[in-house]
Structure 1
Amino acid sequence: MVGKAGAEQTGVAAEALETLCRAYWYPLYAFLRRSGYPPHDAQDWAQSFFEYLLENRVMGKARQEKGRFRSFLLATLKHFISSEQRRLAAQKRGGGRPLISLDDATVEERYAREPAEWHTPETIFELSWARTVLARAAATLEQEHAAAGKQIVFARLQPYLQSGRAGPSYAETAAALGKSEDAIKSGVLRLRQRFQQLLRAQIAETVETSTEVEEELQHLRRVLTA
C-alpha cells in the first residue's frame, strides 16, 4: 500500500494514499490533541497534512527511507506543522479540496474516551495506531462474513476473538445457533486464525518484509498491554 501511494501520481496512487490517510487520521488527530491543540485546530492540521501528502508526493520518501511507516508519518507531520507555522503565521490554513471528511462530534467523542493524561502525544499515537489496525482487520472480517451471508454467526462468534475475554459460554452460543459445542469451538478457532491473517495483511501494507510484519505485530501487542 505504501509503495502504491508513493508511486507516480495516478488514480491507483491517489486511492492508495487516501486509504492510508483514512487508516491513520485518527492516530494523528489524537497526537495533535494530546500535544495541546484544541479540537478544531487538530482537525484543521490533520486535513491540511493529508492535502500536503497528496499534493507533494511525499509518500515516495517513505519507500526510500528505512524505518516504520507510522514513525515516518509522525515525523513528517511534526516537520509539516513546524514549517507551516513559521511560513504562514496567522494565515488561515487549509482551503484546499477536502481529502477526508472529519466529524467534529464523532472525533472528539472518541478522543474523550482515551486513557488518562499521563500518555504522551507519542504514546497516544501508538495506542491509537494499534487500535486502528485491530479495528480495520475486524471490519474486514465482518465484511467477509456478511458477503457469505453469515452475519448472525459472526455476531455470535465475535466476542471470542479476544481470548480470555468474558462472554457467553460455548454451550450458550451453540444453543443460540443450533450447533454443537465442538462446532462452535472449531468456528472460533477459524475466526481467530482468519483475524490473524487479516491483521498481518493490514501491517504488511506499511512494511516490506515478513520479518518486519512479525516485529510490528510484537510491537502492537506491547503497545496494547503497556
Structure 2
Amino acid sequence: MSLLSTNEGFPETSLTLVRRLHSTDDSLRAEAIGLVARRYWLPLYDFSRRTGMSEPAAADAVQDFFHHIVSNVDGFANYDGQQGRLRTWIITIFRRRLSSSIARQQTQIRGGGVEHVSLDFVLAESSYQEHAEQDQNDPERAFDRAFARQLWQQVLDSLRCAYTYRQRLTVFETLQPLILCEMKNQPLSSVELAEKAGLPSIVDFKVSLHRLRKEAAHEFQRLVQQMVAGDDWQEEVRYLLRLVG
C-alpha cells in the first residue's frame, strides 16, 4: 500500500487493473483505459518518432492506437496479466498496428478518442527532441526509458501534492533533486541545503532526505505493481529506476 494519498483512485495491483480493463462497466473500464493512456501515450509517440515517422504520422499513430483500444470492447481481451509486462504487450500491439499501416490510413482528430486524457503532441515532440540522442539505435529501449520518465514524473507529482498538504513544499523542492543523486554531485553543501529547505539542523536534513527517498521508492513500487503481475515487479522496479537515473 502506498504511503502517499492519491486522488486518482486507480487499482493497486496489475490484476485489479486487468479486471477493470475487461470490465463491462463502462465507467470502470474508462478509468482503467485512462490510466493506461496517461502512462503510455508519450512513450509510444517517442517510439514512433525513433522508427522514422514524421511528427504528424507519429501523432496519428498514437491517436489511432488509443482510438482502437477505446472503441473495441475486446481491445485488452488478449492480455490477462499473467503474460508479463503490460508495457511489453502494449508495444507489441502498437508495432503490429504500425506494420499493418492502419495508423497511416486512419487519421483521428488529435487530442480526441481518449476522454479526459490530454494528448499534447507539442509536449510530446519537445520531450522527444530533448532526449533524441539517447538510445538512437534502439527505439524499444527508448520507449522503456520514456515510460520510466513518465512514471517517475507521476511519483514527483504525488510527492509534491503530499508535501504541499503537509506545508513542507520548500523541503520537497529543495531535496527532490537528491532523491536519485548523491550529495557529491550537488553544488551546495548539506548545511546550505538544510538552510535553503528551512530545516534547523543537519540531522533534520538527513532525516528528511531519508524519508523523502523512502516515500519515493514506495510510490514508484506501487505504480509498477499496477502494471506487472507476480514477483516480476521487483526486477521491473530496478530496471526502470536505472533508466530514470
TM-score by structure 2 length?
0.81
Residue 135 (structure 2) pairs with residue 120 (structure 1) = no
Q: Cα distance 1:160–1:78, how it changes in 2: closer, same or farther (>3 A)?
A: same
| Residue-pair matches, total | 221
Q: Report 1:157-168 matches (<5 A).
A: 157-164=175-182, 165-168=185-188
**Partner Cα separation in structure 2 for residue 178 and residue 129 of structure 1:** 34
Deviates more, 1:6-15 or 1:177-186: 6-15
Q: Is contact 2:194-2:201 (8 Å) kept?
A: yes
Structure 1 residue matching 2:84: 3-state secondary structure: coil
How far has the Cα of 1:169 moved from its partner? 2.0
How far has the Cα of 1:218 moved from its partner? 2.2
**Partner Cα separation in structure 2 for residue 147 and residue 12 of structure 1:** 28
**Partner Cα separation in structure 2 for residue 68 and residue 202 of structure 1:** 13
Q: Cα distance 1:82–1:181, how it changes in 2: closer, same or farther (>3 A)?
A: same
Q: Which runs of 5+ in 1 are unaligned?
A: none
Q: Is contact 1:47-1:94 (8 Å) kept?
A: yes
Partner of 2:108: 94
Q: Which amino acid aligns with 1:186?
A: V
Partner of 2:42: 26
Partner of 1:193: 214
Q: Which amino acid aligns with 1:16?
A: A
Q: Which amino acid aligns with 2:202?
A: E
Partner of 2:86: 69
* Pick aligned residue for 2:237 from 206, 213, 217: 217
* Pick aligned residue for 2:149 from 121, 131, 141: 131
**Partner Cα separation in structure 2 for residue 205 and residue 18 of structure 1:** 14
How far has the Cα of 1:120 moved from its partner? 1.8
Instruction: Decide which structure has greater helix share.
Output: 1
How far has the Cα of 1:139 moved from its partner? 1.3
**Partner Cα separation in structure 2 for residue 139 and residue 167 of structure 1:** 24
Deviates more, 1:172-181 or 1:32-41: 172-181
Q: Which runs of 5+ in 2 are unaligned?
A: 1-10, 12-16
* Pick aligned residue for 1:78 from 85, 92, 95: 95
**Partner Cα separation in structure 2 for residue 204 and residue 180 of structure 1:** 36
Deviates more, 1:188-197 or 1:178-187: 178-187
Q: Cα distance 1:23–1:68, how it changes in 2: closer, same or farther (>3 A)?
A: same
Q: Is contact 1:5-1:16 (8 Å) kept?
A: yes
Q: Is contact 1:32-1:42 (8 Å) kept?
A: yes
Structure 1 residue matching 2:175: 3-state secondary structure: helix
Higher relative contact order (CA 8 A, sep 6+): 2
Q: Cα distance 1:175–1:101, how it changes in 2: closer, same or farther (>3 A)?
A: closer
